[in-house]
Structure 1
Amino acid sequence: MQVDFYHLTLQPLDRVLPRIAERVVEGGGRLLVVAESLDQRAALDRLLWTYTPDSFLPHAQAEGEGDAAQPILIAEQPVAANTARNIAIADGLWREEALEFDRAFHFFDEDRIGAARVAWKALADRPGIERRYWKQNDNGRWEQAA
């Protein structure tokens, strides 16, 4: 199980999440995107349609008729109705259920850095978990820092 911590400093979530989602889907995987706020889930839904003029990421918000068929599903809870093995925690609130997936992307900004550190430390001694910490350099490129 791999947990990637993405510290959002230079680029906001709406610039980073779509690229990760593209890679997951292009690789044949499915993604569950989790956010507690209804407003954030609605914004993510709009984002995945419009983040670039030529983009198309098939997705839906959870609790619809076609959840099981969706490559990307946006949900309040970490329950993969689309059988995703990848989870993106978009609101910065770590959830232990993420450990039931093969890979977790934990996005957080300065407002959530304290909670991200707590999650990072809590996962340190857990067997079978590979943690990676990604930060942006001065050019905005992602570098693995731990």
Structure 2
Amino acid sequence: MQVDFYHLTLAPLDRLLPVIADRVMTGGGRLLVVSSDADQRASLDRSLWMIPPDGFLPHAQAGEGDDPAQPILIAGEIRAANGARHVALADGQWRDEALDFDRVFHFFDGERIAEARAAWRSLADREGVERRYWKQNGQGRWEQAA
């Protein structure tokens, strides 16, 4: 399983998450987006309606529609009612339950960097876990740094 750590420095999450979600869907996958913050979940919901500009990414917030039918489900906890094998931890909080998925996208900003480092270290010796650390360069492009 793969865990991708995304250090948000230039681009905000509401710009990056739709790109990741689109790639997951293009590959035939489903995504669970997790945040304990209701305001953040509402903001991400709006972002997925507006980005990409020429369409929208089909999604819903957990409990507000037919959860099993949603390619992208936004929830307050890790429970993939949509059968997702990819999970995005949008609020910067690491959750070990994420390791039950095939791929984890762990987004964090400067306020959560200590927690992200602790999660990175805790996964170092876990069998079957491949870690990747992504950061933005001066042009705003994502580069794998570790």
Q: TM-score, normalised by structure 1?
A: 0.98
Q: Please say if 1:86 is aligned against 2:86.
A: yes
Contact kept, 8 Å, 2:18 with 2:52, in 1: the verdict is no
Quote the offset at 1:53 in angstroms. Answer: 2.7
Residue equivalent to 2:125 = 125
Residue equivalent to 2:96 = 96
Alpha-carbon distance between aligned partners in 1 of 2:83 and 2:52, rounded to the nearest angstrom: 27
Stretch deviating more after TM superposition (60-69 or 108-117): 60-69
Q: CA RMSD in A?
A: 0.8
Alpha-carbon distance between aligned partners in 2 of 1:86 and 1:96, rounded to the nearest angstrom: 14
Quote the offset at 1:13 in angstroms. Answer: 0.4
Supply the AA of the counterpart residue of 2:89: I
The share of aligned pairs that are identical, in percent, is: 70
The residue correspondences of 1:1-146 to structure 2 (distance < 5 A) are: 1-146=1-146
SS in 2 for 1:45: helix
Alpha-carbon distance between aligned partners in 2 of 1:141 and 1:65, rounded to the nearest angstrom: 35
Stretch deviating more after TM superposition (30-39 or 45-54): 45-54
What's the CA shift string for 1:17-74, capped at 9, x where partnerless?
A: 1000000001100000000011111111111001343121000000234000000000
Unaligned runs of 5+ in 2: none
Supply the AA of the counterpart residue of 1:86: H
Supply the AA of the counterpart residue of 2:136: Q
Supply the AA of the counterpart residue of 1:42: A
Q: TM-score, normalised by structure 2?
A: 0.98
Count of residues in correspondence between the two structures: 146
